[in-house]
Amino acid sequence: MNSFVNVTEQIDDLALAAEELLSGGGECALQGNTVGILFCYSDMDSNGLVSELSKKVGFPILGCTTIATMEHHGFHDIAAMLIVLTADDCVFATAVSEPITPENVAEQIDRACDAVCQKLGADEPKLLFALPPYILEIMLDEYATGFNRRCPGVPVLGGLPSYNANGDENLTLFGGEAYPDRLVLLAIGGNLRPVFSVNNVCSVDADRKRKVTEAKNNTIYRVGSQTFTDYMREVGLPVDTLTQGNATITFVSNPLLLENVKDGYSFARTLHEIDLEEGSGTAIGQIPVDATISICSLHRDEIEQAAAAGLLSLKEKMAGPQDEGYSYSTVLAVSCIGRHLLMSPNNDAEVNSLLTEFPAGLTLGGFYSYGELGPQGLEETQNFAHNESLILCAI
């Protein structure tokens, strides 16, 4: 497989933006099978741009909105990015769901998976790239569970689109259209040996650890004998002011760490809202009863160190297939918007750390997400809904 990435800062002139995104890939000529992944700044006419691009190319394009992107030349916060994957020895299949609701989400995941697998034909999917819609009533875990059920053993990379929530839009993109409520899916088969690095940043004080005693789906009500909001007060968070104005920075810099859950995994969850009247907190992902919970304090230097460690881990995993003759061309990345926001005003610090030892000759392309999808565990056979993470996938 070969790839290239183009970036444009022309967020108002869509014709010029499309021209710059399709301005060529240098020495990367298109091969027999090609697909494009588009990330649009959330405050531009995403529908217009994906429509403009789809008129000009002979290959499918899917993607989503985002507040920031990364590639092998650096960080971009007001731009659009097009990643083009092209190969003679890989096959690509894309699909878009019908509008998703809490009632039909499992059915729509199944239909999208069935559609891409049917298009692949005799080729088994080696990787799914999934961009679900951002719907707070649907836990991100439902997508990971659905992919694990319908395509067992197939690794998934992806995440929720992001936006600034100040009049801009949160959308997935497919076939010349933009949608607020549809899953878009890419399956890749053929000569592909994807490897992953999943890195979470969680430093924690043992005195903050408690047992989750009451929770339902992604809402936590009680911790030990306290309401969740009383627990937050105890550890020093300004609970009574978090319902006023934008609490995003406080939430992302103080993620929940959940430990001692099924299979021994630990993972992070980012709060999205609290309810003072019922004493609860709601996250984008599931919070299991009986898990050990703690509120972490996330720091800028940890984010930079984790990015460097994540790349080192990825390179180590690439070594085995490379020794056997496989050639990697591309690293796809999905990072949490919390990591981006917490670095302000040096929002490019994570990307700069990642690029310090980035392999020469490889393409990097990725975006900042409201929640990340990727493998969990050393075997990488089960997919999971992550928060506060940086997920890297080499293909």
Q: What is the pLDDT of residue 207?
A: 72
Residues 317 and 366 grouped into a single domain: yes
Measure the CA–CA gap between 151 and 155, rounded to whole angstroms: 9
Q: What is the pLDDT of residue 83?
A: 97
Question: Residues 71, 365: contact at Cβ < 8 Å?
Answer: yes
Question: Residues 162, 66: contact at Cβ < 8 Å?
Answer: yes
Count the neighbouring beta carbons within 10 Å of the beta carbon of residue 93. 22
Residues 156 and 256 grouped into a single domain: no
Query: How confident is the model over 70-124, as pLDDT tens digits?
Result: 999 999 999 999 999 999 999 999 999 999 999 999 999 999 999 999 999 989 9
Domain end marker among 278, 298, 318: 298
Q: Which residues pair with 227 in a beta bridge?
A: 222
Question: Residues 281, 273: contact at Cβ < 8 Å?
Answer: yes
Residues 245 and 344 grouped into a single domain: no
Residue type, position 135, single letter: I
Q: What is the pLDDT of residue 208?
A: 81
Domain end marker among 266, 283, 298: 298
Domain end marker among 238, 268, 298: 298
Question: Residues 391, 314: contact at Cβ < 8 Å?
Answer: no
**Which mean pLDDT values do the consecutive 10-residue runs of the chain (395 residues) have?**
95 94 77 96 94 92 97 94 97 98 98 97 95 93 96 96 90 95 98 93 69 95 96 88 73 82 76 92 91 83 88 96 97 90 82 93 96 80 88 97
Measure the CA–CA gap between 342 and 338, rounded to whole angstroms: 6
Average confidence score pLDDT of the chain: 91
Q: Minimal CA–CA distance to 318: which of 366, 365, 361, 382?
A: 361
Cα atoms in the 13 Å half-sphere on the side-chain side of 136:
8
Residues 267 and 160 grouped into a single domain: no
Q: What is the pLDDT of residue 248?
A: 73
Residues 226 and 350 grouped into a single domain: no
Q: Minimal CA–CA distance to 160: which of 135, 127, 131, 185?
A: 131
Residues 20 and 70 grouped into a single domain: yes
| Total domain count, the chain | 2
Query: How confident is the model over 305-358, as pLDDT tens digits?
Result: 889 999 999 999 999 999 999 999 999 999 998 888 877 778 899 999 999 999
Residues 318 and 292 grouped into a single domain: no
Q: What is the pLDDT of residue 156?
A: 97
Residues 35 and 148 grouped into a single domain: yes
Residues spanned by the domain of 174: 2-197+301-394
Question: Residues 178, 93: contact at Cβ < 8 Å?
Answer: no
Q: What is the pLDDT of residue 262?
A: 65
Q: What is the pLDDT of residue 341?
A: 80
Report how far apart, in Å, the C-alpha atoms of 354 and of each of 68, 98, 193, 304, 391 are: 15, 37, 22, 8, 12
198, two tokens:
């999943």
Residues 115 and 6 grouped into a single domain: yes
Measure the CA–CA gap between 386 and 393, rounded to whole angstroms: 15
Q: What is the pLDDT of residue 318?
A: 97
Residues 98 and 145 grouped into a single domain: yes
Give the burial string for 303-313 (b: 16+ CB within 10 Å, else e).
bbebbbebbeb
Count the neighbouring beta carbons within 10 Å of the beta carbon of residue 51. 17
